[in-house]
Amino acid sequence: MSASASPSEHVAVNYDALMGPVMFEAYAKETATRIPPSRYLLEIGAGTGRVTAHLLSKIAEGGRLLATDLNDDMLEVAMAKIKDPRVIFAVADAHDLPYDDREFDNIVCQYVAMFFKDRGLAYSEFKRVLKPGGSLVMAVWGSTTQNPWGTVAQDAANHFLPEDQKIESMSKPFSYCDEIEVTADLYAAGFEKVSTDWVHKEFRTDKARDFMEGMFKGSLLTSALEERGHTDVEHMIDFAAQKFREKFGNPAVSTMSTLYITAR
């Protein structure tokens, strides 16, 4: 990344480098194991390519992987890391996919569904572009109780903010994990068979401050603080890292929980 990179480009790099190895890599590998061999695979919300890199092992001979995201800065990070000619990167909106009916063998969507503005519309689009017999594999975070590390940065930031500026956006990633709700949404969109299962993994890092820096400079918290006029957040990061070590130890050890959904 050049010294003249935009703030949003810095966010994407921090997200990948500081949060990715701790939060996302283990589940990226897990997700890839669940995908059937595919000649044309669609990834929704590819981000910085954590899952994308592992999905390459599922591409059949002569096949392609279309990795999409709304955020082109995230995709720029992915493209810098992944040079495989089988991967096509594209900016696309899950609510209005610019692809033909029944075009893809399978679809992957990790840690994105909680952010859809209209889940019913997005799921209907998935169903439309999926070939008969194909699978949609989704992953969503469990609750903040199941992932207690998830809101430590937000809590630390709020320590410095007045009541009318408190931030709640970091709870959003952990807000869509009710199996009954998710299953009902997919059935309503036209899927005929939906199954779910939980996968629990260890959360561990010996770089608490780096992880907190990622949360403050590479997540939803970043824009929330900027909107409130807070751009110098080093003191907040130091405070958050201290609280993180107090709560989880050094190295920090906790649990991670993800709900997997397969729909056909």
Q: Is residue 245 within 8 Å of residue 208, measured between CB atoms?
A: yes
Distance CA 257, CA 247 (A): 18
Scan for tokens 């500026």, then name that residue. 165
Over the stretch 148-158, which tens digit does the pLDDT of each residue have? 999 999 999 99
Complete DSSP assignment for 110-122: ES-GGG-S-HHHH
pLDDT band per the 50, 70, 90 thresholds, residue 3 = very low
Statement: residue 15 has pLDDT above 80:
yes
pLDDT band per the 50, 70, 90 thresholds, residue 5 = low
Span 7-144+168-204+254-263: which CATH code? 3.40.50.150
Q: Which residues pair with 203 in a beta bridge?
A: 254
Portion of the chain with pLDDT greater than 70, in percent: 97
Distance CA 233, CA 231 (A): 6
The arithmetic mean of pLDDT across residues 21-28, rounded, is: 98
The pLDDT, as a whole number, for residue 137 is 98
The arithmetic mean of pLDDT across residues 97-118, rounded, is: 98
Scan for tokens 């190295």, then name that residue. 251
Scan for tokens 């033909």, then name that residue. 100
Statement: residue 2 has pLDDT above 50:
no
Q: Where in the chain are the domains?
A: 7-144+168-204+254-263
Over the stretch 161-205, which tens digit does the pLDDT of each residue have? 999 999 999 999 999 999 999 999 999 999 999 999 999 999 999
The pLDDT, as a whole number, for residue 6 is 55
Statement: residue 1 has pLDDT above 50:
no
The H or E element spanning position 202 is strand 194-205
The arithmetic mean of pLDDT across residues 246-262, rounded, is: 98
